[in-house]
A and B are shown apart, each in its own frame.
Chain A
């Protein structure tokens, strides 16, 4: 069952801007970004600009720069030693385990954001707020247990 949102609670009333401070029409336009997709057009624009910037730089330098090969030049630089074998080899399992642990915590944080937004809109001390707080305490307690388990298993031990 969904809880009713307490939009007009005393908390959000306290967050209303001080309208005397600025010209009235500053706040008549909604400061909330609308959900319209047209707002994401600049994102596409900047992505295209960044790709073009990178590509132009790479192409330009490959045209302008000299190109000489031969001898030992095409070896990789490994402090002057002759490189032995390929570099794509097996590496320490720690990195993999750490990435797995990271996924757990990152997804946990993603779940926390929507909760935080709704929780901050509830009026302080109301029963809904208590319920929300209890739920998140349970959620964080679960991940703390996982965290302690990982710590005891030595996931974070790198020495």
Chain B
């Protein structure tokens, strides 16, 4: 059964909608900037969402029925902002998929929220109140601290009554979500499935922990640091705020509803690496790329573009390019390769969904976005996108996501004819 993408939505540091994301990718806009020194040795750079106002973002979805907008405000006005961003991204995707007009059977609609440990920053912020008097914790805390609050709230707003849950795979969570949703559709469990790459609200303690592992850029000298995927001077990732949503749907359901297929989820693979560490490994990464292409029924020479995981950690970038060479063989230098993280930072659990959206956007609009801050490439054989916009005819693309603890994932997206 063919699975297609019929809707997309995004809120991130460089865009508040998919059309503005498209313009930002074209322009190579960077959402990364300095943040106040937390004073604990944690990250001093971040790609933050600026100027988000939930009420306005809901009002902007004026094509959705007033009942849906009112339901969103009622359900989430006092929710933590990260959930509100997830909801707004999902409202955009729901609208683009036309699910408010040509409706799907509520029991045939699913919801997969990709991510875990999503609300640590929220819990951190409430801790002083708890210390002061535990009885004054907001009653909603018991709901809001759970990752599954995102599932519950979004399902209420959209009236989703089919299968739903959260899935986790560290930084690969977004792709884990897309793969799970793809399987729900393929298996016939649902006709339509929303996949939400959930905004990950890290606490200062968690950010400091990541810095301890040496994975974060700009801890020492934020003014000189950049996010530099594939550059010899890469020094780590920059945390990014982002929420994304894609609607996956069986081609039959899309046709029956008259929804436009934006792209096809042609294949995928997800494999553990039997490895609890943050260490990326070439062999396991290559394996999922090879298996995903086989699952899609395409060969290495069919791949025109690779949206790399490429967080800009030295070991990660090197392992991924070595894996790509192994997976593509003689075609290694053929597809364009770029890293969206250079623009939006590392959106953590949402990254896979944000990057799947970036892939579909580039595919549909015929370009590859620049690789930012790439002065001295770590590999001369790979066709790394330059620092400026390039036109590109993309029929098939890979989008990689890898996570601490050996989560290796690759999805194959294809352009709809």
User: Does B bind A?
Assistant: no
Q: What is the interface of chain B, defined by CB distance below 8 A to chain A?
A: none
